[in-house]
Amino acid sequence: MGSSLTPPPSLLHHHHHNHHFTRRTLLLSTTTTTLSLPSFPSLSSTTPTITDRFFIDFSLCPNATNPARTLGDTFSTLCSDSTLLGRVILGLYGNLVPITVSNFKSMCLSSNSNSNHSSSYKNTLVHKIFPGQYFLAGRQGRPDKGEVRPPNELARNIETVDPNAFVLTHSRPGVVSLSLSENDDDEEIKLDPGYRNVEFLITTGPGPCPQLDNKNIVFGTVLEGLDVITAIASIPTYKPSERIRQLNDLADFFGDGRAQNARTTWNKPLTTVYISGCGELKVAKPSLPPSLP
């Protein structure tokens, strides 16, 4: 049973704003016409506490982009000789955003099965790193490319259109958040009624990321392993030149579909870093609150 730790006061911030509805809202409203939103507890009556502890192991893979790979090679076989970067322990706020946390837990726990790992975070990439800000993992797509294919039974996350789910801010390093606005997933995939957003981000510091607030759902915090997060943030990434950016913007303006495809390589780590393991940590006796940065 997880401990009940209260996050730092800097994480809590009450927003009085009008929630901006997006195409994600339209998708939910058009595909779930009979669905009514439940009453979520507000922070005025419920303080978010850590209800679950999960770990994620991050590793470096030297052969993921090997040009000699064959059709029979899977991501797991290509990375059989990977180097462990380290383990990160997360505390999750299951009382504040229960659906978001439940889906994240499902994506981690399914990696412990003996079947293939196509429906879990295990053997999937950290696909974008924004230095001094955050990194992204869990992109939906093809498992053979180190991407995630969520299981069909994963719950539809109606918290993505509930304002109470967006009250926590990206105020410091180590904030764990469901990525709703910062990803490069294909729009056709997002508008599929079977789409389940499981992509997440972790802020790397050194400062806050206010541009992520009110757009992505904070559902946890790094309890241990912030040094691993910093190590990931320091991995060099592909940075397009200003001329390439301008040409891409022009192509996008004229509706050239190749523009978005090209952007998928921007901020991509030049060294492959991936999730080599993940799962739950059972805590028999709650410990003292950790000293968080």
Burial 125-155, CB ≥16 within 10 A → b, else e: bbbbbbeebbbbbbbbbebeebbbbbeeebe
Per the CB < 8 A criterion, the answer to whether 195 and 241 are in contact is no
Q: Which residues pair with 279 in a beta bridge?
A: 55
Q: Say what the pTM is.
A: 0.75
Q: What share of the chain is helix, strand, coil (3-state, %, to 5)?
A: 25, 20, 55
Domain ranges for the chain: 9-13+42-238+268-280
Which CATH number fits the domain 9-13+42-238+268-280, given the four candidates 3.40.50.720, 1.10.540.10, 3.60.20.10, 2.40.100.10? 2.40.100.10
The tens place of each residue's pLDDT in the chain, 293 residues long, gives 444 455 554 455 444 444 444 444 444 444 443 344 444 444 433 467 899 999 999 999 876 555 455 555 566 677 777 899 999 999 999 999 999 999 999 999 874 444 444 578 998 999 999 999 999 999 887 787 888 888 878 888 999 889 999 999 999 999 999 999 766 556 666 666 767 889 999 999 999 999 999 999 999 999 999 999 999 999 998 776 667 666 766 666 666 666 566 666 668 888 899 999 999 998 665 555 554 44
d(CA 206, CA 131): 10
**Helix H or strand E segment including 89:** strand 83-92
146: left (phi over 0), alpha (psi -120 to 50) or beta: left
Place of tokens 């990375």: 79
